[in-house]
């Protein structure tokens, strides 16, 4: 049995302002789908996993704030492991593994495969993941990693240096995290590959690590004592401490959509949301998650991104890091967040609860109802204030357009 864990709960300042739970990059329908429509990173990666593993139920590892967004994108029957509070990847992977094991009544010989949501890859990536799972099941190593074929001596990735070669895999000599370009050149000459953050291992292997830490490997125990788990990444906590690691090569296209630079290279001239450019605009990527338009005039080599968190205007060639600037922003200045919610005909969507905000809805078009004590019809143009701290649900009879206004009221 294979447990597939899709890590979807991440929030990174490197893609600010698309970096809070609700407006995170993985939910924006930015990418071209096969159908000619647009899909989100979450939808793309989930679709690719299902194509390779049609019989396995993938578990999405995330947090409460994102659960309703995930159900809205993948359907209500999707399997979700929700962290009780935000934690690092070690805790999230352990919890999701225990969740999947309980749900599927698995055993210690089952294989776990962990896939991050922000890899932009070809379908053959998932064939490589199947090979990883098979090798983990055969226990050729305690952990099996994917080694992506490097396209440059980049300083932004972790490298995996191979040791002995075997049929379909190599063992791993050691890891080198974000080397200098010179060291990266030397690593490439030795056949090193990029670590894409995909892991395969057995349930029993992870269980033994948890038990060595004096804890119990069960979903209910881990959920209740979640805050006690160490705040550490899975790489640091497990992978880099393990001596028997194997690597499966992947030679296809791979792009980590974790920075504006990589995201804009995939989007190219296409953008997202409302914007207009004059004909002189060159190589400017616009991602607009606001309800107001962006106008670009004569700009070159820019990324322009807007959400209710803020507005980024960045030169694509800049080496300046975004994180320290964003950290200087006062946390409490974003007092109002607005977004337009569209519920397709016949569908249902959740409105997450927030205790820190007053949440107001104004139905603008279509028809539908809202779950308060029971389902009550929505009246166009009539403002509704949602009960504080209580999740609610919208149902559309005809495609429903609403404006949601969240006003922060606690300091």
Binding site for a copy of itself (CB under 8 A): 16-17, 274, 276, 278-280, 288, 290-300, 302, 304, 306, 308-315, 317-320, 322, 325-326, 328-329, 333-336, 338, 340, 358, 360, 362, 364, 380-381, 383, 385, 403, 405, 407, 409-410
Smaller CB separation from a copy of itself, 108 or 315: 315
| Integer Cα distance of 60 and 114 in angstroms | 10
* CB 103 to a copy of itself: min, Å: 40
Smaller CB separation from a copy of itself, 315 or 398: 315
* CB 154 to a copy of itself: min, Å: 19
| Integer Cα distance of 366 and 345 in angstroms | 9
* CB 336 to a copy of itself: min, Å: 5
Smaller CB separation from a copy of itself, 248 or 386: 386
The answer to whether the CB of 207 falls within 8 A of the CB of 110 is no
Phi-psi region of 216 (alpha: psi -120 to 50; beta: other; left: phi over 0): beta
Looking at the DSSP assignment, which residues form a beta bridge with residue 278?
A: none
**Within 13 Å, how many C-alpha atoms sit on residue 323's CB side?**
6
Smaller CB separation from a copy of itself, 31 or 322: 322
DSSP 253-289: -EEETTSHHHHHHHHTT--BSSEEE-TT-BS-EEEE-
| Integer Cα distance of 22 and 226 in angstroms | 22
Smaller CB separation from a copy of itself, 167 or 292: 292
Measured in Å, how far apart are the chain's first and last C-alpha atoms? 48
Smaller CB separation from a copy of itself, 115 or 286: 286
Smaller CB separation from a copy of itself, 30 or 314: 314
Q: Which two tokens stand for residue 327?
A: 């950290």
E-only strand ranges, 16-110? 31-32, 38-39, 59-63, 79-83
| Integer Cα distance of 374 and 386 in angstroms | 13
* CB 295 to a copy of itself: min, Å: 5
* CB 66 to a copy of itself: min, Å: 21
Q: Which two tokens stand for residue 12?
A: 């990174």
* CB 119 to a copy of itself: min, Å: 25
| Integer Cα distance of 371 and 394 in angstroms | 6
* CB 342 to a copy of itself: min, Å: 13
* CB 114 to a copy of itself: min, Å: 32
Smaller CB separation from a copy of itself, 251 or 398: 398
């Amino acid at each position: 049995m294979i447990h597939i864990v899709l890590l979807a709960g991440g929030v990174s300042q490197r893609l600010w302002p698309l970096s809070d739970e609700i407006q995170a990059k993985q939910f924006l329908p930015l990418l071209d789908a096969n159908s000619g429509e647009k899909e989100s990173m979450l939808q793309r990666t989930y679709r690719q996993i299902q194509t390779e593993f049609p019989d396995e139920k993938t578990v999405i590892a995330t947090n409460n704030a994102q659960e309703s967004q995930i159900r809205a994108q993948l359907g209500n029957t999707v399997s979700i492991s929700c962290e009780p509070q935000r934690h690092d990847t070690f805790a999230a992977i352990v919890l999701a593994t225990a969740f999947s094991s309980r749900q599927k009544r698995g055993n210690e010989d089952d294989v776990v495969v962990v896939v991050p949501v922000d890899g932009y890859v070809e379908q053959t990536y998932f064939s490589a993941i199947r090979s990883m799972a098979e090798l983990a099941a055969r226990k050729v190593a305690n952990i099996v990693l994917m080694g992506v074929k490097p396209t440059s001596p980049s300083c932004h990735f972790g490298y995996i240096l191979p040791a002995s070669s075997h049929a379909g895999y190599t063992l791993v000599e050691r890891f080198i995290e974000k080397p200098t370009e010179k060291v990266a050149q030397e690593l490439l000459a030795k056949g090193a590959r990029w670590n894409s953050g995909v892991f395969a291992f057995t349930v029993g292997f992870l269980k033994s690590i948890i038990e060595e830490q004096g804890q119990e490997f069960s979903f209910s125990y881990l959920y209740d004592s979640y805050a006690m788990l160490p705040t550490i990444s899975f790489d640091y906590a497990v992978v880099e401490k393990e001596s028997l690691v194997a690597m499966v090569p992947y030679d296809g296209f791979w792009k980590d959509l974790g920075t504006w630079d990589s995201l804009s290279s995939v989007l190219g001239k296409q953008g997202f949301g409302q914007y207009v450019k004059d004909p002189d605009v060159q190589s400017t990527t616009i991602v607009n998650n606001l309800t107001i338009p962006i106008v670009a005039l004569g700009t070159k080599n820019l990324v322009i991104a807007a959400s209710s968190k803020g507005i980024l205007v960045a030169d694509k060639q800049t080496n300046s890091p975004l994180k320290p600037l964003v950290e200087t922003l006062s946390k409490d200045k974003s007092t109002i967040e607005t977004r337009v919610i569209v519920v397709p005909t016949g569908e249902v969507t959740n409105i997450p609860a927030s205790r820190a905000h007053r949440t107001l809805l104004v139905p603008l078009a279509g028809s539908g109802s809202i779950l308060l004590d029971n389902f009550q019809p929505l009246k166009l143009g009539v403002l509704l204030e949602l009960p504080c701290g209580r999740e609610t649900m919208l149902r559309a009879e005809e495609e429903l357009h609403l404006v949601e206004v969240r006003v922060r009221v606690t300091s």
